[in-house]
Structure 1
């Protein structure tokens, strides 16, 4: 029988070479644990380098460690750098005790044998919303707990809509949204801005329309998918959306909306603080599905995971740290700091009670879906890239929506065999 540690490290070594090639940015050695880490010192790696020792986040980590009877050694890394470092640490047998990573990365690390399951660590997931937990599941196993979630909705400029005679409450499906855009244009204003850049950021923004049509990621050229891409291309043809969306990131798209001339912007919870600085009255509505209701938007946010360790006796304390970080009281504070919607009903209700403006975001998160859900796991990036290539081709006019998606499906099928 092969040594499981050696097998895991070999798998990590192979995957690390692939990820290192695909990801930009060099790895830094700062903050990595030493080989002589004390049994009473537990390492936590997170993607929040913006928080220093004086922040509420780091104070919470310290408190959770104290409650568990250990000292926490925390290191914060850029999101991309963190993935690379996690793979390298696993290869070297020097993983942290607790690893907090962007939810689409969970399946990559799980497939490489880097992460324990919640069955291994006895982490309780009973209170977590199933659609949010699904982003950390692969082949029937769960590899962590979401610390919270963000997603997409439509911000609107009340002054622009009032001038066009549009009541945002009447926008419930694609037909009513497109009719509203037509009224806005007729009133001499600009319609909607979003990000359709040829990166994962663009796919993230297209998915609510794609899923809202009833399409699925295993069949990119379905009639429903063609309808979603036709919606976007028609908006450009009719002048309801600017050509700049082809190159827009979510940040530049937001800047267009913040200029005050647009009726709508597709963007996320993370823009709430910026929305209050725009100087105009704004509101938020869910992204509508094609025939009504809230479209499933992709979930953003991180999972708290426990990497595989040779000393499995450490898992009990890792589980206590994870439980502390994601407990109701602590999740409320953390999710407020990160502009996240909580992963449990109880904390979501507490958030809305404190800030009624979050109600629409809670509704959006309740309908949201993980990009790696449906057991796609590491197949998702191989599907997303052809998908963003398709909407780039269609929006630029180099291919029809149907032809662009047909080519995307062929590429995705070949890549995911």
Structure 2
């Protein structure tokens, strides 16, 4: 593969800020020097600074290094910082041997020429669920493999629904969900909370409803897309959802649900530990499509990739490291630590067998979709920005859902 030019890398870097992960945030750390001290040292960069050298993740890296006959030099960064560092390192021919990166950023790095393809590095992705692998595919080529996935679903408060006379089994589509919210409000409780903030988080949370309507990101103002935004708009107008959703992050939205007053909250797998501490019985329901079934929710989680190296002889060992990190047993252990659903059916089955509460999350991940899928690649950030602006405009009452999405579509033409 040709060494990418600085000019191309600079252009790709402009898209990075909008692609910061919507799922989690963590502090930065580590040095930006990629190369090991000698050929027997292989470098790994990851977005997990919360895990120190005594963690299970760090020990897994060392173990995979030992198995491959090399030492591992690991550096951890904040997600957005990691992407910038990866672009700069590629420009300086100083890329790490293995790069673990947020899945929507894969297309940015791939189009900048930073990453090798699975054809180049010989990674086997045959067991990975195709809908998850799609987040790392650009122009018919695959760049890396997912280490795990998280996504969105509906948490519900069993006591609130019981008091309102709602059987959660009846919630199968948008009309039945709206009917449940109406009953909850009449019972004096609060309906549903979510994040509609004017950032990537807002788009991330709106996408299950947008996709669940049958809409496509290449046609924001379709009748289906308008129906999805109308659903949210109607909920806020009728008081089924609070006006605070306009400023809610996924964290503040969760805090509202944790108060115990709300029937439903749209949130992710990363809240499972908090849900168990909430002090009330809860359940999880995959987000329903407009006419039933499970809506496609966007995937969070990281890909393990092999960056381009001046010394192509390093790819063989890098491939061994990635294969070790994503082996069946290691995926199970790692995804349990990260609260991720595994990217393969074999490991998903093991997760559900060990913890039946993960079943709705596995169902949600099986129906999930990468934000950059459909070969959107680096077009996604611009589309997403217009989408969250349309959500903000409609929910604030400044424009109708139809006009808001028409303006959004005009802006991305």
| TM-score interval (norm. to shorter) | over 0.9
Corresponding residue number in structure 2 for 1:332: 332
Gap change, CA 1:243 and 1:305, over 3 Å in 2? same
Partner of 2:12: 15
Moved over 6 A (4+): 20-25
Distance across 2 between alignment mates of 1:404 and 1:20: 25
* Deviation per residue, 1:10-36 (Å, 9 max, x gap): 4224434x35787999x9894233656
CA-CA distance at 1:412 after TM superposition: 1.3
Give the 3 Å change call, closer, same or farther, for CA 19–29 of structure 1 in structure 2: farther
Counterpart CA distance in 1 for 2:314 and 2:164 is: 61
Change beyond 3 A, Cα 1:122–1:203: same
Residues 200 and 385, structure 1, Cα contact 8 Å, conserved in 2 = yes
In the superposition, the TM-score normalised over structure 1's length comes to 0.95
Task: Give the alignment of 1:137-156 within 5 angstroms.
Answer: 137-156=137-156
Unaligned runs of 5+ residues in structure 2 are: none
* C-alpha distance in 2 between matches for 1:370 and 1:36: 33
- Greater displacement, 35-44 / 242-251: 35-44
Matches within 5 A, 1:228-243: 228-243=228-243
Would the aligned equivalents of 1:13 and 1:91 in 2 still touch at CA under 8 Å? no
Q: Does 1:91 align with 2:91?
A: yes
The Cα RMSD (Å) is 1.7
SS at match of 1:405: helix
- Structure 1 partner of 2:385: 385
- 1:80-159 residue pairs with structure 2 within 5 A? 80-159=80-159
Report the alpha carbon displacement of residue 285 of structure 1 after superposing the two structures with TM. Answer: 0.5
**Structure 1 contact 100–304 (Cα < 8 Å) conserved:** yes
Partners of 1:213 and 1:228 within 8 A in 2: yes
Give the 5 Å matches for 1:26-45. Answer: 30-33=30-33, 37-45=37-45
Tell me the distance in 2 between the aligned counterparts of 1:203 and 1:290.
18
Q: How does 1:271-282 map to 2 (within 5 A)?
A: 271-282=271-282
User: Partner of 1:347 in structure 2?
Assistant: 347
Contact residue 33 and residue 43 of structure 1 kept, 8 A: no
User: For 2:122 and 2:74, how far apart are their aligned partners in 1?
Assistant: 23
TM-score (norm 2): 0.96
Q: 1:29 to 1:245 in 2, by over 3 A?
A: closer
Relative to structure 1, is the Cα distance of residues 21 and 137 closer, same or farther in structure 2, using a 3 angstrom cutoff? closer
> Match of 2:2?
4
* Contact kept in structure 1, 2:16 and 2:83, CA below 8 Å: no
The 1:29–1:196 alpha-carbon spacing in structure 2 relative to 1, beyond 3 Å, is: closer
Residue 212 to residue 305, structure 1, CA distance change in 2 (3 Å): same
- Partner Cα separation in structure 2 for residue 14 and residue 263 of structure 1: 45
Please state whether the residue corresponding to 1:100 is helix, strand or coil. Answer: strand
Match runs of 1:17-416 below 5 Å:
18=14, 30-33=30-33, 37-413=37-413
Aligned with 2:192: secondary structure? Answer: strand
Distance 1:129 1:285 in 2: 21
CA displacement at 1:54 relative to structure 2: 0.5
